[in-house]
Chain A
């Protein structure tokens, strides 16, 4: 083997190794996305009402990916940001019937169904976004015991986290709802879960 062909063989070997290494890394990255969405817990039973008077229970979580937030319409800081993030995601996944959005008021005594309906018009463009209300105690219990987010000193003390729930009503991941980078994360996770 002469000098040049030895060099070519060597380079070929290096590139081949880099290729295999890259394949391994890409594969690990794909795998890690799913591993990063462990089943945290099953959402406990609940029954709330949408602004159009329709009941919404935990059974309706089955079969769809759900993104859940806690808000109230008088909230001036976090909630408008959180709802606008939901709005962006709703637009981007407009064509999918496998995703639903759920915003639960933490101020049910003020947020009547009409107020929630008006509020929804500012953000929602499709009927896959439910604005739920109900008994305050039931809402606190759903937040704290069903979804494991804080619900102290309501309404202002509500959690600003988004909760991603899979098609089997299992909690898969939490996100900081006011953080813009969460949109990017949620999008990737939704695509990962839709693929599985």
Chain B
């Protein structure tokens, strides 16, 4: 029962973290990052004003940014609860205990990095760092969810280890996903710098100005497609349903990501596609963590 409580708490935090990444992406694509011109307060108060003279504030943008901050605070509270539960029920399990506190550190650190973003007027490199920390946070929370789930199941399914995907393949997959995300954030950062320096360029001219490494992003995307297709084919008849589901999910996500990516290029970066492209990449990171952890468990 107590372990179940921890599992639920970890699951809740993970879901909240994914929603927070979505909201953060929404702040980015709607250009609401400087909606609150200061941090941690928004204007003179903690809550943005409801009416104010136009010079200082765009109220819509202020509220979008404020919801992002509030959601971050809610996630922070949820992780504090998680840490208490980890001390209470997993004091002897150093892995769960330390990753719980690592999550707490990451959520606080990322809040401060969010503040640094405002202080530096949305420095593109800090934006990327903000995103990377968020990915680290969903990874650690996904890990806690799976790890506590393992403790919930009293009977292990005994499997022939030979029938499981090789751990190395999943590690390579996760590694390529991270490289792919770094290339993607590089492209994003580059576009933003170009947008600032040359505001009159249209979207396709901005894309054209990005150096050749943008093609690696596409190339690696298709490499990941082949890899996920291989996993899907190889384990399509696997006896463990979750392995099949994970492979199907990964394949679908990669296909969706490629389609969204092409949409970004050929329809000049529609904001909604940008948002889901970024969000989808965070899902793939979490899924890789879950996949690896699951195999690790079944092999143990």
Contact = CB atoms under 8 A, between A and B. Distances in A.
Interface of A: 4, 18-19, 22-23, 25-26, 28-33, 35-38, 92-93, 95-96, 173-175, 180-181, 184-185, 187-188, 190-191
Contact of B32 (A29, A180, A190): A29
Given A26-B271, A29-B30, A184 B121 contact: yes
Contacts of A187: 196, 199
Contacts of A19: 272, 276
Contacts of A37: 54
Contacts of B199: 92-93, 187, 190-191
Q: Which of B29, B37, B54, B197 has the most CB of A within 10 A?
A: B54
Interface residues of B, number: 27
B71 interface: no
B54 A36 contact: yes
Contacts of B275: 22
B58 interface: yes
Nearest to B35: A29
Given A22-B26, A92-B199, A33 B58 contact: yes
B37 A181 contact: yes
A173 B30 contact: no
B272 A29 contact: no
Given A29-B64, A181-B37, A185-B34, 9 more contacts: A22-B26, A25-B26, A25-B30, A26-B30, A32-B60, A33-B58, A36-B54, A92-B200, A174-B55
Interface pairs A-B: 4 shortest CB-CB: A32-B60, A29-B30, A36-B58, A181-B121
A173 B22 CA distance: 32
Interface string B182-206: 0000000000000011111000000
A26 B29 contact: yes
Contacts of A23: 272
B34 A181 contact: yes
A127 B272 CA distance: 40
Interface string B227-253: 000000000000000000100000000
Interface in B39-84: 54-55, 58-61, 64
Contact of A32 (B37, B61, B276): B61
A165 B271 CA distance: 29
